[in-house]
Each structure stands twice: as C-alpha cells, then as structure tokens.
Amino acid sequence: MRLDNDPSFSELDPVQVIEAGLDVLTSLSNPLDLAKSTFDFASLLFELNNNENNIGSTLSVINVKLDDITRNLDSFREEVMSKLEKIELLVETKPLISSFFLLGTIIDNHYDEMLRILKENYTRLFIDDFVHGVVNYHHYHGVTQTLNRMHSTLYKVDDIVYKYSKAISSPVCPSRYLQVKIAQKFYLALHNAELKGLALLVYALKQMHRKQTPEELEKNLDVVKQNFYRRSNEAFAAQKDTMGMISRMLWNCEIVDSPEEGVTYEQFGPFIYRTFEAKETMTAPVYELCKFINDVESRCLEEPVYACNKYAYCRGKIMSCNNLAADVELYHASADKTRKYDHIEFEEQIMGIKKETCSGRVHLHRTSVARPFPYRAHASCLCTCENPDSKSYINLREVVSNVQENKVVTGIRFRKVNDILHLQVQQAKLLPSAAIDPKTKSWLKVNAYETTDRDVRVGVDYHQLSWDSRSFKLDDVEVDKNTVLTGVKFAVDQGLIRLEVRGTEFSNTSGKLRANKHSWHRHTTSQEQLSPFQLEYLDLPPEHPISQPVLTDPGRYTTLTTSSMRHDVGRSVIPFVDLKPIASRNPDVALSGVRLFHKSYKESAAGYSALKISTYDFN
C-alpha cells in the first residue's frame, strides 16, 4: 500500500480518523492497516488552519492514546534490553536498539515540549527558538533528521531487522517474548515517532507562517508531506518484508519442573515391550540364530512345554529378536501388570531400578546351550513382544470448531481418554482481518467414547496401534490461502498416521465465515519418500530435566519404539506425548495450520510428540 493524496480522506470526520487510526496502531492485528490510518492522520494535520487553538484541540484528542503507546513502548524497551543478554541472536543488535530508542526519546521530548507550549504561556522568543530547532533539517536533533536516522537504524543496510532476521525466522515460543511481537513493536515505535514528528513539523511550520508568505508555507508543508510519504512508503514495504520473514509457527517451550502423567504428559500403553524368550518356547527352528527370528509366537499358547512354567512368555507376536551378550538374571514384577521385570542383572551390571526386595520370581536366561557338534545354539533371545493385554488407540473422528457461531480453531492440545489419544481444540469468534475475540476463547469438550461402544468401528472412529502400524508423519499441514483453520483430525494413509486440517473461507472485511465453503487438507507423501527420525536416546523423558530442546524439521516420520534397557528394561513406549496446550496469543489471530513434531533433548531423554500451530498468513 502506498500513501498518496486521496480527496476521499477529506470527507472523514477528524476525530473518527484519529481514533480509528490509533486504535489500529495499538491493536496491530494486521500491521499493514497502519498505512491507511497513518495517512488519515497526516491528511487531517495538513488540512488544519494555523489557528493555535484548533491545533491544540486536535492534538488533545490523540494525546492520551499517544501517551499510552509511549508508556507501552518504554516498558517494551526495558524488557527487550533486559533480555538481550539471554537471547544469543540479539546480543549484537544491542547498540543499534539503544540508538533506536534514544532517537525515539528525542521525538518524545520535542512532542512533550510542544504540548506544554500549547497549555502554558511561553514567550515568543522561546517558541521561535523551539520551532526553529524542530524544523531545521541540518540540526542534529531536528525532527526530520531524527526520523531519518530512526528509519535507517531499523531497516536499512546492516540494521536491526537484518541482524534480527535469524531470530525471527525461527519457530516462536509464546511463553518467551514473541518474535512477531518484538518486530511489531519496533515498527510501532517508528510509527509512533512519525505521528508525533508530523504533528511537531506541522505545528512548527504554521508557527513560522507569521514570518512567511502563504506560498512559502505551502512549499514547506509540501516538503514535509513528501518526506513523510517517502519514509512511510519505505517503512511499510520494509514492515511487510519483515512480517514475511517472521516464523508464524508457535510451539510450547514452557519449562516443567515437575512432570506429571495425565497433566503435563501422557504415554501410550505398552502395546509393545522388550522380553526375554527361551528358544525352546518359540515356534522358530531351534537352531535359528536370534537375529533372524521375527514374527513368531510362543508354543506355550497352544502346547505348553516344560519351560512355560519356568519363564514368563510373550502372549502375542514375537518380533525383532537379538542375541544375548551374556547370561541374564531376571527379576520379575508380580503386582504391577504394566511391567514384566523389575530389573535385570548381567555381568555385574544392573538394568532398570533395583528394589530392596523382588516382588516376583527370579529366573536365569542363558546366552547359549550345548548341542550335538558342530552346533551351539542360543538358549534365549531378547525380543519385542506385541502385547495383547495393552491397547492404545488414536481418535480418527473430526474435531471442528462451531462455524455456525463464527468460531475458528485458536489452539490445540492432546488429551487421552479411555486409552484413546484425542486432539482437543480451543475455539473463538473470528473478527475482521483474521483477528479473534480473546473473550470468546474456550476449549471444546472431548468427544469421549469407548472402543466397545455400539457403532464404533476400528479404522473409522479409531486406529489401534500395533507393531505394523505405529509411525507418525512429522510435518506442517496448512489450509489454503485466504482460509482459516476450523478443524483437525488424524488419518491413516500409506502406513502413516497423519494430521489433516480443515480450512474455511471467510470475509476479511466483516470477519464472517462462509460456513459451507471448507475443505480438508493433508500431505500424501509416502513413507518411502520421507526420511526417518531415529530416536538417539531412549530414556524416559520425565527423568531428565529440560535443556536446550531440539525440534525436528518437517518432512520426516517417527516410529514408536520401546524405552531403553538400561533405564527402563524396555517396558515403556516412547516417545511420550506432550499435553501442554499451544494457542494463538499476542497477537490474537486466526490459525492456518498445525504441525506434529518431535521435541527431544540433547542428552538421554527420548522426548515427546508435540504440536505446533501456525498463525494466519497476512502476506
């Protein structure tokens, strides 16, 4: 948007123009709307006559709001400066930021002085000296010179925005200071200074009119006007580019000191677990090497043999076996049905957590057993068991906002109900320019059900996790341009569990949804076209403090697996699920997409499956 002379603006009521313009300035739902509101204000000032009372009364209308903005910016400046040392990417911008705000303070001081002159009786000599300093282009603290330097410091070569670009292109963590909020407030500070500077220059030139001809005044005002238009057009173009660089992706980086199952995280039931199996109990050939044994069963299920009474055996499919490195002594758990072993011991090492007393039986699994020459067969193998006694499900039903009430999805989180992992959404009413009404935010109740309920079908209402179907696609899913997010769901396609999103058309002017104009979107990339994300660490996430979280890139997939033998004896399914919600705020705008990603840590912990959201794209 360019700022040009437009006769239609002269028909607007001055008070409405200023109030509407400054409302936009303070809300910043869509920062590019500032172009029109700033020009409205400029047009009004240029049309004022040189009556001092007229100028004073006009400024009084906007002064309260300008003061509010200035105080808000002062608070913002203090917060940013205090956090610069903690944000590595911003440290080098500190001198530039200090200079930028110092220049803004010069404009603030000039503006405050003008207000005092309008309210009190100052000598003509004092006023003349003041307006000369304001107007003088070559004066170091003159308004035009100061504004030019503010623009250069913010978005010209080697400026704040350039140095800040690495930070603003990274995913945003709302519990810290939003990149988008920082960028917006830098431009807010610039536009605030422009409004004050414009008022100062118009006031000063009309004070100097006493010593000028009308032609000279008109010429000088035209210079101010053209300089204002030039700077504003450059600023709005730079602002649009900056907003385009800013990552619209939000994720929850909140530090949880005391993780709690069911509150901050959930885990899938042990539908697979690690198990020690005696060779003589498996349907595999007795001389088969462990590493070649896969997709077999225990003979104890149909024809019990002697070893069935001696060992606890897998009651489901036996998958992916490995050789034992040494004889292993097993300490079985008897009371805890979610665990098969308390701990194991081999070669003077302990895996799992050794208790004072063992609650179950103690058995020895040998690595090998003598057979007639030339064979020496493995006696036992370490395998993965598909557990028929533990069920874990993914909800496949649509989760949608109430579009009939003009509500869109504004947040999302995981919830586990009846062993079924659900997506739960937050909704709120949509306003013009893709803004949302924060007062209407609420979480939709989870549509809970049991897999045994009537008319509930596997593959339609829910998906059952299994050895063969436990991989999730890690990727962004976005709705179409000029639509907003109104629904999410999981789907199973080409062997992968994927996110789908629903986009609904809307009127940008009225904010009204076109309830029947929506479509679902998902990526159809096959598993073979994606790169796997392998868990490097397998320890249980809650046992390790948060330190420098690492986020997966899109275009990958992850497969649920068993926890580490060292830490947990392979009894749990990892990664866990992050239950912390993520929602749009600061600014409150509609969403355009969702991402499933893996949030892990640099050392030991297996991490969490978590959700991100992307805010509406104004570009």
Rounded to whole angstroms, the Cα distance separating 363 from 360 reads: 10
Domain boundary among 191, 213, 247: 247
pLDDT score for 81: 60
Count of C-beta atoms within a 10 Å radius of residue 547: 11
Would you call 401 exposed, middle or buried from its count of C-beta atoms within 10 A (0-12, 13-18, 19+)?
buried
In a domain, residue 259? The reply is no
Q: Are residues 372 and 408 in the same domain?
A: no
Q: Are residues 149 and 295 in the same domain?
A: no
Rounded to whole angstroms, the Cα distance separating 63 from 71 reads: 12
Q: Cis omega (within 30 of 0) on the bond before 587? A: yes
- Indicate if the alpha-carbon torsion angle 95, 99, 102, 108 is positive or negative: negative
Tokens of 7: 């006769």
In a domain, residue 39? The reply is no
Contacts of 254 (CB under 8 A, 6+ apart): 175, 580
* 402, 430 contact by CB (below 8 A): no
Q: Are residues 231 and 277 in the same domain?
A: no
To the nearest 10°, the Cα dihedral for 62, 64, 66, 72? -160
pLDDT per residue over 559-601, tens digit each? 999 998 888 889 899 999 999 999 987 668 899 999 999 887 6
Determine the residue type at 312: A
Per DSSP, the residues of 294-310 read: -SB-BGGGTS--HHHHH
pLDDT score for 263: 94
Q: Are residues 591 and 525 in the same domain?
A: yes
Length of the chain: 619
Count of C-beta atoms within a 10 Å radius of residue 475: 22
Q: Are residues 436 and 583 in the same domain?
A: yes
Q: Are residues 348 and 426 in the same domain?
A: no
Tokens of 460: 């339609």
Rounded to whole angstroms, the Cα distance separating 508 from 91 reads: 38
Q: Are residues 202 and 332 in the same domain?
A: no
In a domain, residue 183? The reply is yes
CA distances to 107, 293, 326, 566 from 562, rounded to whole Å, are 62, 18, 21, 12
pLDDT score for 467: 95
Q: Are residues 308 and 404 in the same domain?
A: no
pLDDT score for 433: 86
* 591, 615 contact by CB (below 8 A): yes
The three-class DSSP label of residue 250 is strand
Note down the domain range covering 451.
392-615
- pTM of the shown model: 0.72
Rounded to whole angstroms, the Cα distance separating 353 from 568 reads: 7
Tokens of 8: 């239609």
Contacts of 333 (CB under 8 A, 6+ apart): 339, 340, 341, 342, 359, 360
Rounded to whole angstroms, the Cα distance separating 545 from 258 reads: 9
Q: Are residues 529 and 564 in the same domain?
A: yes
Strands (E), 507-575: 513-521, 531-532, 550-551, 556-559, 561-562, 573-574
pLDDT score for 303: 77
For residue 495, give the nearest of 468, 515, 516, 465 by alpha carbon: 468
Chunked into runs of 10 residues, the chain (619 residues) has average pLDDT values of 36 31 39 47 53 52 59 63 54 77 90 86 88 78 90 80 63 56 75 84 80 79 83 81 75 80 94 89 84 91 74 87 80 59 66 60 56 55 91 96 97 97 97 91 97 95 96 93 96 93 94 94 85 86 68 86 88 94 83 91 80 85
In a domain, residue 2? The reply is no
Q: Are residues 449 and 501 in the same domain?
A: yes
In a domain, residue 433? The reply is yes
Count of C-beta atoms within a 10 Å radius of residue 388: 11
In a domain, residue 157? The reply is yes
Q: Are residues 311 and 237 in the same domain?
A: no
Count of C-beta atoms within a 10 Å radius of residue 284: 21
* 578, 609 contact by CB (below 8 A): yes
Domain boundary among 323, 358, 386: 386
For residue 540, give the nearest of 502, 570, 500 by alpha carbon: 570
In a domain, residue 37? The reply is no
* 558, 471 contact by CB (below 8 A): yes
pLDDT score for 98: 84
Q: Are residues 182 and 279 in the same domain?
A: no
In a domain, residue 574? The reply is yes
* 102, 74 contact by CB (below 8 A): no
Determine the residue type at 128: D
Per DSSP, the residues of 10-68 read: GGS-HHHHHHHHHHHHHH-SSGGGHHHHHHHHHHHHHH--S-HHHHHHHHHHHHHHHHH
Contacts of 302 (CB under 8 A, 6+ apart): none
Q: What are 472's strand-pairing partners?
A: 497, 558
Rounded to whole angstroms, the Cα distance separating 41 from 59 reads: 11
Domain boundary among 345, 363, 386: 386
pLDDT score for 252: 82
Question: Burial code of 177-212, b = ≥16 C-beta within 10 A, e = fewer?
Answer: bbbbbbbbbbbbbbbbbbbbbbbbbbbbbbbbbeee
Provide the domain count of the chain: 3
